[in-house]
Amino acid sequence: MANGAGRQLLLDVGTGTARLLIKMSRMPEFAALEMIGTDYFEDMIVKARRNVVDAGLNKRIRIKRDDVHAMQFHECFCDLLMSRSAVHHWRNPIRAFQEIYRVMKPGGIAIIHDIRRDAPPNVKAQFQRARAALGVPLSNFDEKYTQGEIKQMLMKAGLSHCTSVTAPNSGPAALGFEIVVFRET
């Protein structure tokens, strides 16, 4: 699954400020990965690039402006893809899932996380209390998707045969769902 340079490539879709890529790049288990973070919003791109440069990682992590609905990357581009808290920002999630599958190499895997609207009420309340305590604006759960809605989108995208969607019913992970997409070899 290595790219032309002999390294595996991780694509972070909706990287935001690139903090997770920076943290991952410092972990030995990710040392062999080439990393690219993308975001649609120019203000996030500016912050991400600044954070990468400030961390001294501009040779290790590249940041690009991109739209998940029509990615600039060729088919079979990346080995691994991740996205966190971005699905609810996509104007056409069905098209975005198709694009994610398109840019993955055969044998590639995508792991996508987001908060879900149908999370248990006690978990949502605890999350909102934690945000308030940090002075962070409360999350708008109305803009999020349910696990069932995500499964329907993946079916409409033609990807239900190579995806799984999990959403625990208790504990902190019950706040969201995880989508795993595997591109067949």
d(CA 96, CA 102): 10
pLDDT tens-digit series, residues 11-42: 999 999 999 999 999 999 999 999 999 999 99
Note the pLDDT of residue 185.
85
Split at pLDDT 50, 70, 90, the class of 1 is very low
Q: Which amino acid is at 170?
A: S
Domains of the chain: 8-182 (3.40.50.150)
pTM over 0.95: no
Does residue 85 have a pLDDT over 80?
yes
Does residue 110 have a pLDDT over 80?
yes
d(CA 14, CA 105): 19
Split at pLDDT 50, 70, 90, the class of 5 is low
Contact 182, 162 (CB under 8 A): yes
**41 phi and psi angles, rounded to 5 deg:** -90, 125
pLDDT tens-digit series, residues 140-181: 999 999 999 999 999 999 999 999 999 999 988 999 999 999
Tokens describing residue 3: 């790219």
% helix / strand / coil in the chain, to the nearest 5? 40, 25, 35
Let me know the angle formed at the C-alpha of 18 by 16 and 26, rounded to the nearest 5 degrees: 160
Q: What mean pLDDT is reported for the chain? A: 95
d(CA 149, CA 18): 28
